[in-house]
Structure 1
Amino acid sequence: MSIYGALYSGVSGLSAQSNAMGMISDNIANVNTTGYKGVSARFSTLVAQSASETLYAPGGVRSAPLRNIDKQGQLQGTASATDLAVAGKGFFVVADRPGGVTGTQYLFTRAGSFRPNAAGDLVNAGGYYLQGWPITPGSTTPTSGSTFTGLETINVANLNGTARATTNLELALNLPSTVLPSEQTSDVAMEVNLNSAAVAGTTHDVVTTVNDPTGVAQTVTYRWTKLAAANQWTFEALAPAGGSVNNGGPTTVVFDPATGRPTSGFPPPDPLYSWNNGSTSTIDVGSYGNAITETAAASASTATQYNDQYLATVQVYDDLGNTHDMQLAFTKTAPNDWSMTVLNPTLNGATSGIVANLPRTIQFSGGVPSLINMPPITIDWSVGSTGATNSTIALDAGTVGSPDGIIQFSGNFILNSAEQDGVTFGNFRGVSVSEEGVVTALFDNGEQLDIAQIPLGMFPNPNGLEGRTGNAYSATAESGNFLLNRPKIGGAGLIASSSLEASNVDLAEEFTKMIVTQQAYSASSKIITTADEMLDELIRIAR
């Protein structure tokens, strides 16, 4: 009985060691497989019940796989933002097909080498589709869950950037505490209403005073002349006394008969003046509010001059992403008192919007604001041809009593910053993934759009998972039920973007195990040959 038992024990040793060799071979073959978790052999005895205390019944040995799924592999950096690795506990949730159609099988993996396919779905090397909770404006994603409901395949195709209109404008500048009246005029803001019923040749003059480069006050005249064509006038600056002016020729201004506003030709080219004292200067002609109109009857006209030092040009955006230049003119009205006028914005040199002319004032005490009256800027974009929706821009001139916005100290007029929140249209340029698993689309205008939240699957016993082809796992009774958590919540690890988790196989250890397994296999085979010789001896006794 013992000889036969020894024979079968040797056979069980061959089976157990060959099974162990299979595990070692898989480990070595997958030493470069992303996220692969090594398998080791667990040996246990097979014990046969002995008939008496003086006899021994050999049983043998068996081996079973022990998966080291909970053993972290080394993280390796890559150049792709969609290469993902889990640092800590948890698994990516993947599906064998996109779209969540009937029959979809959900699995778990640590293999995060995801790449967009032709449809834009993120797929790893095993052909599995990355799943996540979609992020939509006005909605919230779950923190955790125990169901696949709500998961969708993460897709990075057809992501288009949008433009955003300016809604907030923050100003930080210094207004000089001492204003000299002899500063050179650089800008004239005009307000005029022309008579739509005027006959051809009718003129309408706007007269104002400006300062030449030497600080001398000069009288200038701007002339509007009615043309024979309906709703058309010419505009030109006339030569000052004792000097000359170069307009580049009179400019034809065309008015919209429905709105009475210019559709082309205004603002005109900047006139270049040669003054009677030999100095020269260029003065920009613009307007503010609904300042240039043509209606049934003419009305009084005005023009206000501004200096280089007190004129700030900022850029604002409409909701279609068009960039408009808008000038802010500051005028000192009394000691420590200033007013601000917002001139009409321009696009490509032409008036593109009408600003509501509201009083805006700021008072100072000790160089910092003591009173700020800055109502929002409302802009009517219908004067232009962009088709943009009208805008309302909140003005932030700082905090009363704090030097965090507009201030008044000695020195020059300095625009430190003009921050606004509008952006032009942006093209998609890639994605990023945060440690918390938020997938964000990036656009070349600086805009970012969160599109998905990646959850991590958690198990009470991850080593009890069942392996599947493609380096994925499915839940079993031994692993326990899964729980989906956001990364860094509930014990889940974090997600490392532009990284991959290497196999946790130690090649040197596997080769050592292979030698030991080979020797154990040879020893088991020797048991069989020795038992066979003993049986031969037993048979020869009977001859």
Structure 2
Amino acid sequence: AMGVIGDNIANVNTIGFKSSRTTFEDVLSQSISTASGSSQIGRGATMSDVDTLFQQGSFESTSNATDLAISDNGFFIVSPQGSETQYYTRSGQFRFDSDGYFVNPAGYVAMGWALDEDGNDEGTLAEIQLSTFTSPPEATEEVTAITNLNANDTSRSTSLFGAWDATAADTIGDNAYGYQTAVRVYDSLGNSHDITVFYDKMDPANSEYYDGVIDAHNTWEYIVTCDPDADQRAGFIGQVQQGVLMRGTLTYNSSTGALSSLTAFTCDPNTPDPSDDANWEAATDWSTNGYPEFTANFVSGVDQVMSVQFGARSTGAAWTGGVANIGDIDPADPLAGNIPTSSWEPQALTSTQYASSSTTIYQTQDGYGTGFLENVSVDTDGVMVGHYSNGQILYLYRVGLAKFNNNQALSKMGGNLWASTRASGDAITGHPGENGLGRISPNSLEQSNVDIASEFVKMISTQRGFQANSRIITTVDTMLQELINLVR
């Protein structure tokens, strides 16, 4: 009994330690004859069992994201590297070693399930090991540019497209447009590029888009551009138009100021003459959400299709009428030469034309460059995610837990480890928070559940009990001595 108490006191500061208790039982009794008949006299006591107390220990908060504690039932599953032997522990003091293994201080690897990009389990329970510490780049597919354009602005150039000159030191003069906004996008290799959208109020007397029907007072021309040096489209290299990816018009509601319709024209990347309006055709490609798409080529031989969102989508993702290309627009014949039309639906966040300074309301894109792992965090459901320098948060693993039908039959292996036995039954593994398993508390360690005050009380009572029992021996010896003296 004192050995158990001493072990408890010695491990009062051991992470995840579970205290033990000693229980006693009486031994076989001796039958004797008395005046009233047969009776029994006890023959003393013997140790009945040493139980492990699996009550929850208190949690200590830490600054280490990989310090884990289990709230309620369950054990972490660990294994020596390269071995199929599994041990179980309540001590969640984990870290990543030089090989990327998720290990405890003794080098045992924690077990879990690898996760796919959607956070679903892949395969079976296995050693947790980070095999890559980078996040691959993702090419941009969607660009959003929501702006307010000043309703009181006037046209700065007869043709915004004509004002662009890729061969000049300044591709477009500051006085050639009314406003611009830029969004940084990424190619398939993770290189960043600036996509700049230029806007200018339509000049109905000279604009190539004026068809005699369009509301010129509430329409703006736009061009979507990139750095000419980054534009690798074969037909545009060396041309004045190099860097122009898309062009068109934005028409706003005269009463509400919200974007009501738009046109979008793109040019075949291999066209021999991008200066010819006839080669700029109404965009034929649309995103699944109904936004027109253009093709860029930042990496030689790799076409990158991107959609541009101004705040209105085509419900049919198609043109419902109008000319096939800019060269066919004819204000003298508005019935046959009108600009393309579609069924446009404004979005909750849309571009506007109000009588206030032109400004960018919102802009974003969905690509990103290469990222490097900065830190790892674990959620209460055991899901481990990596935080990367490119802003991505990727699923990595789910920490596995185990429970047993008979915890008392587990075999202590030292080092805060238990091993299963025939009596304990096989481990029942599962996700934290499911099927009776506890949840994970990150940035925490479970302390020993030893109650030092209670152990000292037990130590004193055990000592006094032993002392009292030893007096029996002394008393019996005295009585025997008196008996011998009587004989003399």
Q: 2:59 aligns with which of 75, 82, 85?
A: 75
Kindly provide the CA deviation profile for residues 396-447 of structure 1, in whole angstroms up to 9, marking residues without a partner as x: 3224344503122221211122111222222222211111111112222212
Kindly provide the CA deviation profile for residues 346-395 of structure 1, in whole angstroms up to 9, marking residues without a partner as x: 5xxx344446755544433222233355412311124xxxx583322222
1:25 counterpart residue number: 6
Farther-moved stretch of structure 1 (497-506 vs 477-486): 477-486
Aligned-partner Cα distance in 2 for 1:403–1:60: 85
1:88 counterpart residue number: 72
1:394 counterpart residue number: 307
SS in 2 for 1:330: strand
Following superposition, the deviation at residue 55 of structure 1 comes to: 4.1
Following superposition, the deviation at residue 27 of structure 1 comes to: 0.9
Does structure 1 residue 61 correspond to structure 2 residue 45? yes
Call closer, same or farther: CA 1:531–1:372 in 2, change over 3 Å: farther
Farther-moved stretch of structure 1 (168-177 vs 507-516): 168-177
Following superposition, the deviation at residue 524 of structure 1 comes to: 2.2
RMSD of aligned C-alpha atoms? 3.0
Give the conservation status (yes or no) of the 8 Å contact 2:157–2:163.
Answer: no
1:98 counterpart residue number: 81
Task: Identify the structure with the greater strand proportion.
Answer: 1
1:369 counterpart residue number: 259
Following superposition, the deviation at residue 268 of structure 1 comes to: 4.4
Aligned-partner Cα distance in 1 for 2:159–2:246: 23
1:306 counterpart residue number: 176
Amino acid of the structure 2 residue aligned with 1:57: I
Following superposition, the deviation at residue 37 of structure 1 comes to: 0.9
SS in 1 for 2:124: coil
Aligned-partner Cα distance in 1 for 2:197–2:72: 55
SS in 1 for 2:88: strand
Kindly provide the CA deviation profile for residues 309-340 of structure 1, in whole angstroms up to 9, marking residues without a partner as x: 32212211112121111211224442333343
Does structure 1 residue 270 correspond to structure 2 residue 170? yes
Does structure 1 residue 340 correspond to structure 2 residue 324? no
Following superposition, the deviation at residue 156 of structure 1 comes to: 3.3
Does structure 1 residue 43 correspond to structure 2 residue 43? no
1:154 counterpart residue number: 128
Structure 1 unaligned spans of 5+: 1-19, 143-148, 192-265, 272-281, 285-304
Following superposition, the deviation at residue 518 of structure 1 comes to: 1.0
Give the conservation status (yes or no) of the 8 Å contact 2:163–2:173.
Answer: no
Amino acid of the structure 2 residue aligned with 1:531: V
Aligned pair count? Answer: 401
Call closer, same or farther: CA 1:54–1:351 in 2, change over 3 Å: closer
Q: 1:325 aligns with which of 171, 186, 194?
A: 194
Call closer, same or farther: CA 1:181–1:342 in 2, change over 3 Å: closer
Does structure 1 residue 115 correspond to structure 2 residue 95? yes
- % identical aligned pairs: 32
Does structure 1 residue 421 correspond to structure 2 residue 379? no
Aligned-partner Cα distance in 2 for 1:436–1:381: 42
Give the conservation status (yes or no) of the 8 Å contact 1:267–1:351.
Answer: no
Amino acid of the structure 2 residue aligned with 1:338: W
Structure 2 unaligned spans of 5+: 203-215, 234-242, 264-290, 313-344
1:246 counterpart residue number: none
Call closer, same or farther: CA 1:403–1:124 in 2, change over 3 Å: closer
Aligned-partner Cα distance in 2 for 1:156–1:369: 48
Aligned-partner Cα distance in 2 for 1:526–1:360: 106
Following superposition, the deviation at residue 106 of structure 1 comes to: 0.7
Aligned-partner Cα distance in 1 for 2:379–2:369: 25
Kindly provide the CA deviation profile for residues 435-478 of structure 1, in whole angstroms up to 9, marking residues without a partner as x: 11111122222122212111221233434433221112223455
Call closer, same or farther: CA 1:499–1:524 in 2, change over 3 Å: same
TM-score, normalised with respect to structure 1: 0.67
Kindly provide the CA deviation profile for residues 252-277 of structure 1, in whole angstroms up to 9, marking residues without a partner as x: xxxxxxxxxxxxxx654339xxxxxx
SS in 2 for 1:515: helix
Amino acid of the structure 2 residue aligned with 1:128: Y
TM-score, normalised with respect to structure 2: 0.74
Aligned-partner Cα distance in 2 for 1:49–1:167: 90
1:520 counterpart residue number: 465
Call closer, same or farther: CA 1:57–1:175 in 2, change over 3 Å: same
2:394 counterpart residue number: 449
SS in 2 for 1:514: helix
Does structure 1 residue 379 correspond to structure 2 residue 296? yes
